[in-house]
């Protein structure tokens, strides 16, 4: 599947390495059942009139505890891939916050967070996208689905990767007809105000640090401890977030 996707993306004008980076993300999403971020996105790329396959994300600020990146017309996937690569190449001494402006679309955020955790870093990542979630009391869409991905490495090799969208259904579900548009609301039913609050908070953090276009905010940190194995033992075989 990766080879097929890579070939199709190269045919759009992308360099071989970028095409493979994109293909690996889409293929991983397919394997994990996140079809809205998988093959359908390869199809979708083929329909875009204004792709800039040669655009390269730029790192505008690089300090010990902070980086600022600009997608500069590149696909958000490639911007996040470049950011992950840079963090793994030069991890922070303790922790670092990364603001990524003009970074869209970003795909399955858990995929990028997992890459960082597999390289030994704790990662917390969120990103904005078109406003689709209304207030629980109704009205126009106020926030994106604004997923929050959290990945924590483990000495047993099985990082925990939580990747939670604040929507009751995905936009992909609506596009594919699996869900009705009116189901795209904050999740939680009678407690939807909680998911709405999270979506608003994450929206404003990204808008304040990486806006006004769609952007992403990432925190990476070196762990001081290895808490996953003990949690797995306590869970006694129950599935933890990100387990396949």
Sites of contact with its own copies (CB under 8 A)? 61, 63-66, 68, 92-97, 99, 122, 124, 131, 135, 137, 139-140, 142, 148, 150-153, 160, 162-165, 168, 187-191, 194-198, 200-205, 207-212, 219, 221, 223-228, 231, 234-236, 238-241
CB of 240 to its own copies, least distance (A): 6
94, 64 contact by CB (below 8 A)? no
First to last CA, the chain: 19
CB-nearer residue toward its own copies: 49 or 237? 237
**In which residue are the tokens 């990100």 written?**
242
CB of 86 to its own copies, least distance (A): 16
**In which residue are the tokens 């300090």 written?**
63
Q: Tokens for 93?
A: 């001494």
CB-nearer residue toward its own copies: 88 or 162? 162
CB-nearer residue toward its own copies: 75 or 160? 160
Q: Tokens for 12?
A: 């759009």
**In which residue are the tokens 């730029």 written?**
58
CB of 211 to its own copies, least distance (A): 5
Phi, psi of 216 (to 5 degrees): -140, 150
99, 68 contact by CB (below 8 A)? yes
142, 200 contact by CB (below 8 A)? yes
How far apart CA 120 and CA 135 sit, in angstroms, is 38
CB of 71 to its own copies, least distance (A): 16
CB-nearer residue toward its own copies: 172 or 211? 211
CB-nearer residue toward its own copies: 8 or 37? 37
The runs of H, that is alpha helices, within the chain are 2-10, 16-31, 39-45, 76-89, 109-118, 171-175, 192-210, 228-235
CB-nearer residue toward its own copies: 89 or 234? 234
CB-nearer residue toward its own copies: 102 or 168? 168
| Residue 137: count of CB within 10 angstroms of its CB | 8
How far apart CA 43 and CA 37 sit, in angstroms, is 11
CB of 203 to its own copies, least distance (A): 7
Which helix or strand (DSSP H or E) is residue 142 part of?
strand 138-143
CB of 136 to its own copies, least distance (A): 9
CB of 221 to its own copies, least distance (A): 6
């Amino acid at each position: 599947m990766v080879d097929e996707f890579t070939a199709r993306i190269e045919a759009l004008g992308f360099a071989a390495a970028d095409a493979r980076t994109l293909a690996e993300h889409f293929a991983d999403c397919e394997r994990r059942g996140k079809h809205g971020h998988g093959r359908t996105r390869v199809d979708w790329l083929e329909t875009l009139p204004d792709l800039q396959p040669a655009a390269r994300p730029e790192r505008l600020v690089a300090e010990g505890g902070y980086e600022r990146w600009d997608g500069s017309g590149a696909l958000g996937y490639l911007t996040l891939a470049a950011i992950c690569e840079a963090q793994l190449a030069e991890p922070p001494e303790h922790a670092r916050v990364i603001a990524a402006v003009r970074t869209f679309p970003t795909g399955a955020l858990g995929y990028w967070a997992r890459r960082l955790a597999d390289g030994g870093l704790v990662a917390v990542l969120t990103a904005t996208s078109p406003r689709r979630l209304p207030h629980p009391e109704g009205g126009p869409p106020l926030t994106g689905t604004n997923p929050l991905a959290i990945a924590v490495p483990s000495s047993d090799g099985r990082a925990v990767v939580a990747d939670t969208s604040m929507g009751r259904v995905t936009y992909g579900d609506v596009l594919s007809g699996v869900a009705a548009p009116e189901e795209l609301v904050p999740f939680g039913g009678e407690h939807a105000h909680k998911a709405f609050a999270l979506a608003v908070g994450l929206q404003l953090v990204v808008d304040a640090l990486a806006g006004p276009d769609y952007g992403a905010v990432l925190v990476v940190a070196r762990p001081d401890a290895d808490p996953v194995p003990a949690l797995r033992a306590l869970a006694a075989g129950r599935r933890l977030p990100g387990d396949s």
